[in-house]
Amino acid sequence: MGQIKKKDIRALTREQLRDFFVSNGDKAFRGNQVYEWLWQKSAHSFEGMTNLSRETREMLQKNFVINHIKVDQMQRSADGTIKNAVRLHDDLIVESVLIPTQTRTTACVSSQVGCSLDCKFCATARLKRMRNLNPDEIYDQVVAIDNESRLYFDRPLSNIVFMGMGEPLMNYNNVLKAIDKITSPDGLGMSPKRITVSTSGVPKMIRKMADDGVKFKLAVSLHSAIEQTRTSIMPFNATFTLVDLRESLQYWYQKTKSRITYEYVVWEGINDTQKDIDALIRFCRFAPAKINIIEYNPIDDGEFQQASNTAIEKYQRSLEANNITVTVRRSRGKDIDAACGQLANKS
Ligand code: SAH
């Protein structure tokens, strides 16, 4: 009652923090100290900032909050995959996943609460978009998984994929800010080459990314290279058409020289014929690309069925015969609903 709404201190840049201290009659370097606490040491409270005087800590406490995420629940799959249910400051929940292999730990992070798009085969699409995540909420998911990787696998996080909940290109500015922090020496100092942003395909934003000269990798959830088929399973394709998408990807490659990954699920009766394969092969000629065939993770009523192994092998052989790199990826963390398209805050 009668309380002023305090500002989230992590929305401030280093410069703004330095200015804040100067305008409060203190030294600018105090801003650096606080910035380090917030970003390198992931401080959750002002009391813990032990190299600041009590007065300074109280002054910060009076003016700001630290809106840290909280890992509410952690589930471990039989295959080692870990899923975090992450509580945000306004009590909304998103999920992020740690995927271990022999040599790597990959973090799969969310960019929105719910999703703005409408892919019919995806559990997250059924939750409507509640809000975008802030840069620090994205960053914190990565830090939480880095900590878990060190704790359970004795190694730091090695890769990040934006394949959790949400459409990253519909929250582009915040995703970019989070990646800046992840790659900056002030944050985690990770190489952008180890980061992949996966999009359902928003042509305007793909062009913007190319113009912005981003250094991370691009993956596109293609699933069909036939306009009508794609619209039937991803209805937004009526607006962001394949023709538009194709042109934006050509533009991306011209500007970045970075090969694109197409994610692709093969479903029975939807995209399992030779005509579908031929369309995909043609689509791959527009810009250098590789195909990642991913396993379908059923989300409910059986409207979608993964195609037979024979159908998938046919895809694989035809693509390879046309010199297109293809990998067939098995799902991880299915037993805890942590696999692609299963993130929907079930628990
Ligand atoms: N919105 C982004 C990122 C989130 S989805 C995008 O679409 O790329 C991450 C990947 O999971 C996408 O390739 C998506 O098509 C795929 N996916 C969604 N539902 C799935 C399901 N039920 N089984 C397998 N993959 C699924």
Q: Is the pLDDT of residue 272 over 50?
A: yes
Q: For residue 13, which of 169, 184, 162 has the smallest C-alpha distance? A: 184
Q: How many angstroms separate the CA atoms of 21 and 25, rounded?
A: 6
The set of residues, in sequence order, having a beta carbon less than 8 Å from that of 113 and lying 6+ positions away, is 88, 92, 93, 94, 127, 129, 130, 131, 132, 133, 165, 166
CATH architecture of 7-65: Orthogonal Bundle (1.10)
Q: For residue 178, which of 148, 138, 214, 151 has the smallest C-alpha distance? A: 138
Instruction: Assess whether the C-beta atom of 261 lies below 6 angstroms from ligand 1.
Output: no
Instruction: Assess whether the C-beta atom of 333 lies below 6 angstroms from ligand 1.
Output: no
Q: Is the pLDDT of residue 2 over 60?
A: no
Report which of residues 128 and 55 the model is more confident about.
55
Choosing from 36, 47, 95, 303, the catalytic residue is 95
| Residue 95 appears among annotated catalytic residues | yes
Q: How many angstroms separate the CA atoms of 57 and 50, rounded?
A: 9
Residue pair 343/110 in contact by the 8 Å Cβ criterion = yes
Instruction: Assess whether the C-beta atom of 276 lies below 6 angstroms from ligand 1.
Output: no
Helix residue ranges per DSSP H, the chain? 14-23, 29-39, 54-63, 135-153, 172-183, 203-211, 227-233, 242-256, 274-283, 309-321
Instruction: Assess whether the C-beta atom of 110 lies below 6 angstroms from ligand 1.
Output: no
Token pair of 137 as six digits: 């909420």
Residue pair 288/260 in contact by the 8 Å Cβ criterion = yes
Residue whose CB lies within 8 A of the most ligand 1 atoms, among 106, 111, 294, 342, for a mutation test = 294
> Is CATH 3.40.50.720 correct for 70-336?
no
Token pair of 315 as six digits: 């895809």
Which pLDDT belongs to residue 342?
77
Which pLDDT belongs to residue 94?
95
Q: How many angstroms separate the CA atoms of 169 and 112, rounded?
A: 10
**Ramachandran sector of residue 2 (left: φ over 0; alpha: ψ -120 to 50; beta: rest):** left
Residues in the chain: 347
Which pLDDT belongs to residue 139?
95
Which pLDDT belongs to residue 221?
98
Instruction: Assess whether the C-beta atom of 199 lies below 6 angstroms from ligand 1.
Output: yes
Q: Is the pLDDT of residue 10 over 60?
A: yes
Which pLDDT belongs to residue 338?
81
Q: Compute the mean pLDDT over every residue in the chain, rounded to the nearest whole number.
A: 93
Which pLDDT belongs to residue 23?
95
DSSP 308: P
Task: Give the Å distance between the CA of 341 and the centre of ligand 1.
Answer: 5
pLDDT, average across residues 210-229? 98
Q: Which residue's CA is the closest to the ligand 1 atom numbered 11?
A: 340
Which pLDDT belongs to residue 192?
98
- The domains of the chain are located at 7-65, 70-336
Which pLDDT belongs to residue 317?
97
Which pLDDT belongs to residue 4?
62
Instruction: Assess whether the C-beta atom of 265 lies below 6 angstroms from ligand 1.
Output: yes
Which pLDDT belongs to residue 1?
42
Maximum Cα–Cα distance across the chain: 72
Which pLDDT belongs to residue 41?
85
pLDDT, average across residues 89-102? 95
Q: For residue 328, which of 306, 304, 305 has the smallest C-alpha distance? A: 306
Q: How many angstroms separate the CA atoms of 213 and 201, rounded?
A: 18
Which pLDDT belongs to residue 160?
98
Report which of residues 158 and 11 the model is more confident about.
158
Task: Give the Å distance between the CA of 170 and the centre of ligand 1.
Answer: 15
Task: Give the Å distance between the CA of 167 and the centre of ligand 1.
Answer: 10
